[in-house]
Chain A
Amino acid sequence: MTTQAATAPTKRDQKAKEAYFTASQTQLIWHRFKSNRSAMIAGWALIIMVLMGLFAPFLSPYNPTVAGRDVNYENGAPQIPKFWDHNGFSARPFIYAVERERSIKTNFRWVTTVNKEKRHYIHFFVKGWKYSLIDFEWDLPGRALDVNFTALTFDRHLFGADEGQVHVFGTDSSGKDIFSRTLHAIWTSLAVGTLGVLISFILALIIGGVSGYFGGWIDSILQMFTDAIRTVPPIPLFMAMAAFMPDEWSSETRFFVISLILGLVGWPTLARRIRTHLLTERSQEYVLAAQLAGAPAGHIIRKHLLPSFTSYIIVDLMISFPYMVRSETALSFIGLGLKDPVNSLGALMQNVSKADVLLNYQWYFIPVIFFIALVLAFVFVGDGLRDAADPYSGVKK
């Protein structure tokens, strides 16, 4: 009896130990990441925001471009759906009707008034503007590169009003729905960031890989070059590069060029880390063994060295993500990045910078909240991943 009771937990311990020792690197990282509560919360927030961006056309009741503007409700305040008011309770959420009037009473200016007696009900899964999940309509320079391809066109949306329009985040100066714009902007900003990170990652991999693997004078020269780029303040450099873009370029071209610029300026930090990793790894025995077996340099870098720190690279990418998003925002905010027809978080924030908005139209700030949440989520997840990927992080504390 007693022996059984004593062995049962040890057996379980044994199992846990076995699981621990046989766990792959990814499993270990995931286990440590899971125990970090703030990183997990941030992770969920991030997933939700990514999904919101991905399903933006479905979630947003109106077209985020000028095509979807509401002429009757310009600079309109957010309309929060209600369930009851002085006229009683309703199972279906409703908003008040708005009326626009211009007469001698209003001094011949358009005045929007809220009619509290008239309700517009909110319906779910309504038909609305058409969108295509696959929509390639790139107007790249040169006719041969133009792509026109649409598929999976839908017109269902999560919600909408039976009469008039519903704007849960209000509208901007031309009557565009800020809720729809925000959702699309999240996606655009994420896409720019991803493309930028990808480009900088490829550059960093090549430059850092060559520099770290070969060492010696190649390393010295490449490092000098990397350091020179690192000392230039990136946002002024972004600005200088973005200033080349002619105004007449289409928004798609601008989008790609901005991502390219972000990538071209963002690689040095990553390249340095990859180099440092490689420098420490390349003197290990398994590299020597591969070299003696006659493997070429490219093969060793790809097959032996890079897998040895894939997890670190992923963490580094995650950490550099918020900087990319921030840079895009700063560029667009100054007016050198993406411009108004495109919905990026930076382009949306551009509208905020007027004192007029600050005093009268505070709902313009709603996209800013999403921006802060997005950056914070990335930072927390990045930090959580970094701690999780560091095998000594648990030992220190």
Chain B
Amino acid sequence: MAQFVQFTLQRAAMAIVTLLMVSLIVFTLMELVPGTCAERYLAFKNTQGSQITLADIEAEKKRLGLDRPFLVRWGSWVESVFVEGEFGDSCILRLNINQLLADKFWISLAICLVALFASYLIAIPVGIISASSKSALTNNSLRFVSYLGLALPNFLLALIIMLFSTVMFGDSLTGLFSKEFRDAAWSWPKFLDFLKHAWLPIFILGWSATAFALQTVRALMLDEIGKLYVTAASARGITGRRLLWRYPARHALGPVINSLGFDLNRIFNELPVVALILTLTEAGALLIEALARSNDQQLAGAIIFLLTASIVFLNFVTDILLALMDPRVRRGLMG
């Protein structure tokens, strides 16, 4: 038990170190953009009619703490993010980032996680069946579908579905909420309305994720199915589904848990493009908004950091889960 706690703590420490490093990368990116917050604020004031001078900019820099060295500023950013969960203000929108993001980030995360979950829900049984099937037709068509998941751009899929529904139902299926719920507080009807809209992004994000997961599950199963203990089990008279699920599947699915973090990474990758097409109002769209339109580095940095943080967290959880579930891993880690 003590060893397990030690292992957990060690993993948590590693996760925090990774997050610190990510925060340094993100912060550097934010800093590299020409123009500082002070200049932005005063440029805004200028458009409002007040005269500004160079001295004003310097004073504003001092007020915002921008005259301190780079590492010190990074330190204070990290401190406010890690300790208070506070991302500061967006200079362009002059709004608090936490307020701006609030629900939107959680909505994105929920959509991505559901897509991830759904993809494995499909991929695990189908992958196991396809690995055990000898039929060339099944195998080839599955391979083709997997490859298509990689090659078919998800925006194309989204567009085709949108076109189809526009022609068939007269509704383009875009957005995440109906008009009447857009600014309403969360309630049961709003949630139902959300579900009615969210299935499409979930489906599109899950599409390529499923293709990848299928390939992984199939490859892992193929590796296990040829092993001697499976032959031994079938020699003892265990056949069919019982054989597959009890023996090779249990071993094959360990690494799958491990790869969840990277699958989430891949789904986040697709998020901005899908958000753009479906005009979703969540973090992915906000990221595009922040980067492509307004060059709002504070907001973009916060979103990228949050996305990465959720991957790091998922990696941490899966590490612990794997250690709990797989005795081989447990023994390897804790001696």
Contact = CB atoms under 8 A, between A and B. Distances in A.
B130 interface: no
B168 interface: no
A236 B312 CA distance: 16
Interface in A260-297: none
Chain A CB within 10 A, most for which of B32, B153, B273: B153
A371 B153 contact: yes
A206 interface: no
Contacts of B226: 396
Interface residues of A, number: 42
Interface in B92-137: none
A358 B232 CA distance: 57
Interface stretch (B3-11, B159-167, B186-194, B318-326): B159-167
Contacts of B159: 352-353, 358
B163 A231 contact: no
A240 interface: yes
Interface string B244-275: 00000000000000000100011011101100
B25 A228 contact: yes
A322 interface: yes
Interface stretch (A104-112, A127-135, A372-380): A372-380
A336 B303 CA distance: 17
Contact of B288 (A239, A244, A329): A239
A353 B277 contact: yes
Given A244-B33, A358-B159, A368 B18 contact: no
Interface string B164-184: 001000001000000000000
B307 A233 contact: yes
A372 B151 contact: yes
Contact of A372 (B152, B270, B287): B152
Question: Looking at chain B's contact residues, is the secondary structure mostly helix, strand, loop, or mixed?
Answer: helix
B272 A239 contact: yes
A314 interface: no
Contacts, number: 131
Given A236-B287, A240-B29, A333-B273, A231 B18 contact: yes
Interface residues of B, number: 49
A312 B160 CA distance: 39
Contact of B172 (A233, A355, A368): A355
A380 B287 contact: no
A144 interface: no
A243 B295 contact: yes
Nearest to B311: A231
B70 interface: no
A236 B272 contact: yes
Contacts of A228: 18, 21-22, 25
Interface in A326-371: 326, 329-330, 333-336, 349, 352-353, 355, 358-359, 365, 368, 371
Nearest to B164: A358
Contact of A243 (B148, B268, B273, B300): B300
Interface of B: 17-18, 21-22, 25-26, 29, 32-34, 147-148, 150-153, 155-156, 159, 162-163, 166, 172, 226, 261, 265-266, 268-270, 272-273, 276-277, 287-288, 291-292, 295, 297, 300-301, 303-304, 307-308, 311-312, 315
9 contacts: A231-B308, A233-B307, A239-B288, A239-B292, A243-B33, A322-B151, A349-B155, A359-B166, A376-B148
